[in-house]
Structure 1
């Protein structure tokens, strides 16, 4: 119920923020390119900026915005603004780009200029208000924050921030009253009770704080920060056993979250845990993080980016805000930006290991694979049973076609899998089997694929891979065909699996059925070179030679594997040799007769 209602209000909030950000045409977060550039390599130098005219800076800024490079966009817009200081559009764009980049000190200066022109600009009010709160100008903070309100999301955020500003000014009672006065959607009480509880806790009203935390916990016991706040309160005001119970309940819903694991260690040792926040600034950062992270998960990246950057302005080392910001950058395909954020997670945080794993994945995405592998090997050296890190390492090696390495890495995971026949373990054998098959160790690969199916009998990708491999080798044709058909039944819209079925028909000499299925695979995955190559072969066998050469040409242009390119070019030039008794199907029948099939 909470998530559905929140989703609707999220849409409204994005529309609202659009009225603030849409005063800036071509918003900072525009379309993502297929291959994001390295922002560090492209960031403009002082000489770059000096050499540009206003128009040049503006065009460069627009290009940076399209590339989702907020840092460069902000630099270029500020450069343009310096040469045309009365241009309000440039002022707005420079401001929003600075907020998106996390340069809040610069954004504050620009926001103050905006407010001399437009006192109703809500984003400018919010940014200035957060700055006031950071520097402990609590009365000014409340004034500016209250003028940023309009709509359910901004209403909630502004009210929570105003409550924390009141606490900072020494009026904890007034801060709680401010929060309690807020009326709105049914998901408001969760945030209201959590933050009112934290203010009461810091002001010494422990009993009242406990009532608020318990109420929030009953509203949503799956919310991480509610669980943490309540368990920490229990450890100080009840007993460690009660706190442990709350942590354990969360662990059953989401196993092995690092912050929950840390809490369990502390409470099992009988320790009394400190409050979740320790100041007005930390409380405000928590409010901005909480809403920002929720918006990120629900497609509200523009508004989430503003809140997360403001949260980190107040508390630069907030590990959850950092992870949420990095996740946001990943969702808009900016791994280089995510890398910089993951590197900021403090080494003392229980979340550092998670950050290291994600950092490695993003480094690999940025073609910095050796760095990624070094990081993951460092993580696994600290804990040889860290299955998540081992899986990430194996996946990177497999993606980079280091099949000997990834087979050995997956073996490290297989060796420490928990006992039992959990179907979740199937993926380990499947991935190791792929690496073994690609490194010419078919006997091992076949055994692993069979083990994967033993653990998860109807897994379509395993059925497809093993069935395809058998048919491609000309063995176990009937069983292989049955496996692929079972995979297609489960994944009828998966182009790769449909391609396997088409190619299986080709390998047994049923070219008409091959064409039928390969044409469907092309409809599903038109830009895959292998499927185009397969369809070309099938067309040739049914006499559609011109279409065959077209498909091969298309396959050639789609950048096939290097070892396949000369084969495709030879087919374009010479076609296929005549089918005869030496076909793969005939060879397969011979193997079956000899008793040599898989």
Structure 2
């Protein structure tokens, strides 16, 4: 239902111009708003809708679109005004109801909010149920709160979230024993807590004077995650700081958590615009909800709204434990926006202010690697690996990416050692198997082992064109030409726009005598813009004189017989 409603609102941006806009001579602003909204350019669209609404336009289509745009910008008041105008015209809209609900909740007008929920529901059973329960918590009625959350828990799939939010409400009311019963799993069974749930439970345990239990809980969590909030909380407890309940201290905080819960569930699963509306609502109700801020920025980045995303991240306080995490996200936003130097500058500054944070060095290394600055990237990964205190399975990634930087800077012995270390920590990971196997093939060593690795990688990811290309290429290198044709053709089918794979197919086709098809593939590879000028020159040379002559000129760099040790 939510998907279909959002789709209809999106599609309404591309329908014919409403007659009222034509009659009032507002075709320009309307068309501009429609185009801007369709491309998620919320700021530009809002500007045009401001012009339309200032001229008294009352088209329901325009008003509903305006509601969505204003809400996506986090402008609660303007969204509610457009919603009221839509309702005044006798039209109903779930988006308008949602905007009015958020407005009522931010103003603390819970009677109006309940009226909207009672009349026809607003945001679906889960969010509506959480909102009802949190509004009940404003009346200092523990039994009513329990009944509201219990009622929500009766719906299949809603029970875990209803129980977790009930625990938050109990802690807000000072019933830390009851909150612990739920969060520990004693009351209703084990709950799969997110890092936010773990943070809340640790604070509950501290309120109960169970410092050791809180420390143990956080130690387990920090062994499996890189949450700066949980790490900071553990450090504060170890330092003897007065850690108490601050997770949710008032009803608006709980309401914000309800909206964030919905946004977190839908992130990556449904329309990013719908998820953005929920994240924006969470921030309207609780401006310091850092996870909602970061999620909002990530959603805006996904829609290429880099300036808006950067503006959101600038709201994260520098002294908050999540600041460096938000800065890492901001660096990613800048990189996506093509501001490479600014992205590197942000992360470089973080390495100076947070030199002991492994995740900072890892992010710095990732960014430098994406920019092909492999030497610098390897140094960053070295720092990250040096910060490993107790090695765990999750550290495979650092060895893998450092191995890539070593390979790209012609330090194969170090690269191979890192790839093997990564496999030791994460056996049979297809990316590592493929990269190491392909590297062994290119180095012309240990070919039997390389083939075995790549075959295992293909088995794990049969739809990955790059891994399938590696399998075909090692068969080619081993002189098993006919066997290489089928996987190489399949690799091109899986990754048709990759110049290297198309080039490889040309080579394989050439050696089995399909020379005209090979030339076609080389022409196609050139049209796909190979990565380096050297690649371009080599392909053109093959088209001029054929693969056999090129291999002879290169000293026979084709099928090989090599040492297997």
TM-score by length of 2: 0.84
Any idea what the Cα deviations from partners look like across 1:428-449, whole Å, max 9, x if unmatched? 3332332223223344434444
Q: Deviation per CA, 1:542-570: give whole Å up to 9, x if none.
A: 33222122111111111211321232233
Q: Distance in 2 between matches of 1:380 and 1:510?
A: 49
Q: 2:97 corresponds to which residue?
A: 125
SS of the aligned residue for 1:461 comes to helix
Give the structure 2 partner of residue 576 of structure 1: 547
What's the counterpart of residue 174 of structure 2?
206
Task: Tell me how far 1:244 sits from its aligned partner.
Answer: 4.1
**Counterpart Cα distance in 1 of 2:167 and 2:426:** 47
**Cα pair 1:467 1:481 within 8 Å, conserved:** yes
CA offset at residue 533 of structure 1? 0.9
Superposed counterparts of 1:20-169, under 5 Å = 21=6, 24-26=9-11, 54-83=26-55, 85-118=57-90, 120-147=92-119, 149=121, 151-160=124-133, 162-163=135-136, 167=138
1:271 and 2:256 are equivalent in the alignment: no
SS at match of 1:85: coil
Give the superposed CA RMSD.
3.5
Matches within 5 A, 1:432-451: 432-451=402-421
- 1:24 deviation in Å? 2.8
In structure 1, distance between residues paired with 2:289 and 2:415: 45
**Runs of 5+ in structure 2 lacking a partner?**
15-23
SS in 2 for 1:584: coil
For the 8 Å contact 2:10–2:38, the answer to whether it is kept is: no
Corresponding residue for 2:278?
307
**Deviation of 1:173 (Å):** 6.2
Q: C-alpha displacement at 1:537, in angstroms? A: 2.0
CA distance in 1, matches of 2:12, 2:419: 49
Match of 2:20 in 1: none
2:320 corresponds, among 339, 346, 349, to 349
* C-alpha separation in 1, matches of 2:384 and 2:179: 44
Q: 1:404 to 1:226 in 2, by over 3 A?
A: closer
Aligned-pair CA distance for 1:473: 4.0
State whether residues 363 and 372 of structure 1, in contact with CA within 8 Å, keep that contact through their aligned partners in structure 2.
yes
The gaps in structure 1 that reach 5 residues or longer are 1-11, 30-51
In 2, are the aligned partners of 1:28 and 1:96 still within 8 Å (CA)? no
1:400 is aligned to 2:371 = yes
User: C-alpha deviations, 1:365-419, integer Å up to 9, x for none?
Assistant: 2222222222222222234342222222222222221122122222223333345
Does 2:187 correspond to 1:215?
A: no
DSSP-derived class of the 2:47 partner: helix
1:554 paired with 2:532, answer no
Taking the aligned partners of 1:206 and 1:517, their CA distance within structure 2 comes to 64
Alignment check: 8 A CA contact 1:160 1:287 kept: no
Looking at structure 1, the residues matched to 427 and 151 of structure 2 have their Cα atoms a distance apart, in angstroms, of: 54
How far 1:92 moved relative to its partner?
Answer: 1.0
Task: Indicate the larger mover: 333-342 or 53-62.
Answer: 333-342
TM-score, length basis structure 1: 0.80
1:288–1:311 CA contact under 8 A, matched in 2: yes
| 1:210–1:223 CA distance, 2 compared to 1 (3 A) | farther
Write the distance in 2 (CA, Å) between the matches of 1:512 and 1:198: 64
SS of the residue corresponding to residue 473 of structure 2 reads helix
d(CA) in 1 for partners of 2:538, 2:399:
32
- Residue 513 of structure 1 deviates from its aligned partner by 2.8
2:292 to 311, 321, 330: 321
Q: 1:430-579 residue pairs with structure 2 within 5 A?
A: 430-453=400-423, 458-563=428-533, 564-578=535-549
Question: 2:17 matched to which residue of 1?
Answer: none
Q: What's 1:9 paired with?
A: none
Q: Structure 1's 175 and 225: CA in aligned 2 closer, same or farther, altered over 3 A?
A: farther
* 1:414 pairs with 2:385: yes
Measure, in 2, the Cα distance between the counterparts of 1:580 and 1:147: 81
